[in-house]
């Protein structure tokens, strides 16, 4: 096939190029230098490989979010930033990518946030159905919210608190929690990707 052709003209199969870095830092493919354009389309540079991504995200939650929140007593947002950051480092170590994009870091952070939200939701469901702690957990969350609103300079009207006592309010609260968890972990993923790009000089 001619150089620079991305797909086979006969069957449409994409060319497979093995992109690596030589000791001098030059990009090589099958032993010969290749244009920089091939690096951006190299397998694994932009695409998220889910087996490695799930492993990295899960390990980041266990090693980052849980110790920060449970052992250090820091806010959950801080724990998810740490988890998102670690998920990028673990994924890079697992895959040894030649370059790491900011978009890939954001997707890893989002996956980390969704995994943490799903694990927490599963734990709440088990506690509510098996151990019958649903009402107790709900009352605890409402007490924390009420105390937080009381400390505000302009507290919201009582109707807002009454809304969160309804099924619709509980659902909205859960959606907000998931979005906030994902947002903080995405921030951590972006920070991790930025650190790797700076270290790699890209």
Query: What's the length of the chain?
Result: 202
Alpha helices in 61-166 (DSSP H): 66, 76-95, 102-129, 134-150, 158-163
**Contact of 100 with 193, CB cutoff 8 Å:** yes
- Which residues, in sequence order, are CB contacts of 68 under 8 Å at separation 6+? 74, 78, 79, 82, 83
The C-alpha R_g of the chain, in whole angstroms, comes to 23
User: What's the CA gap between 144 and 20, in Å, rounded?
Assistant: 52
**Contact of 137 with 124, CB cutoff 8 Å:** yes
Two tokens, residue 79? 């724990």
pLDDT of residue 90: 94
* Strand, helix or coil for residue 7: strand
Q: What is the mean pLDDT of each run of 10 residues along the chain (202 residues)?
A: 57 55 48 43 60 93 88 89 95 83 92 93 85 81 79 80 83 91 96 89 65
pLDDT of residue 112: 93
Structural domain boundaries of the chain? Answer: 1-43, 45-200
Two tokens, residue 85? 């950051």
């Amino acid at each position: 096939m001619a150089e620079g052709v991305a797909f086979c003209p006969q069957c449409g199969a994409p060319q497979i190029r093995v992109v690596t870095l030589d000791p001098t830092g030059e990009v090589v493919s099958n032993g010969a230098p290749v244009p920089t354009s091939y690096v951006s389309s190299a397998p694994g540079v932009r695409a998220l490989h889910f087996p490695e991504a799930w492993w990295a995200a899960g390990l980041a939650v266990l090693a980052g979010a849980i110790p920060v929140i449970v052992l250090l007593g820091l806010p959950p947002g801080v724990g998810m930033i740490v988890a998102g950051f670690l998920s990028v480092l673990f994924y890079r170590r697992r895959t040894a990518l030649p370059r790491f994009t900011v978009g890939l870091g954001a997707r890893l952070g989002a996956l980390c946030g969704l995994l943490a939200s799903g694990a927490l939701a599963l734990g709440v469901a088990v506690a509510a159905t098996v151990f019958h702690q649903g009402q107790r957990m709900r009352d605890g969350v409402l007490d924390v919210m009420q105390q937080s609103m009381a400390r505000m300079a302009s507290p919201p009207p009582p109707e807002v608190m009454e809304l969160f006592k309804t099924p619709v309010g509980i659902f909205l609260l859960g959606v907000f929690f998931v979005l906030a968890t994902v947002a903080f972990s995405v921030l951590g993923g972006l920070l991790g990707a930025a650190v790797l790009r700076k270290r790699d000089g890209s």
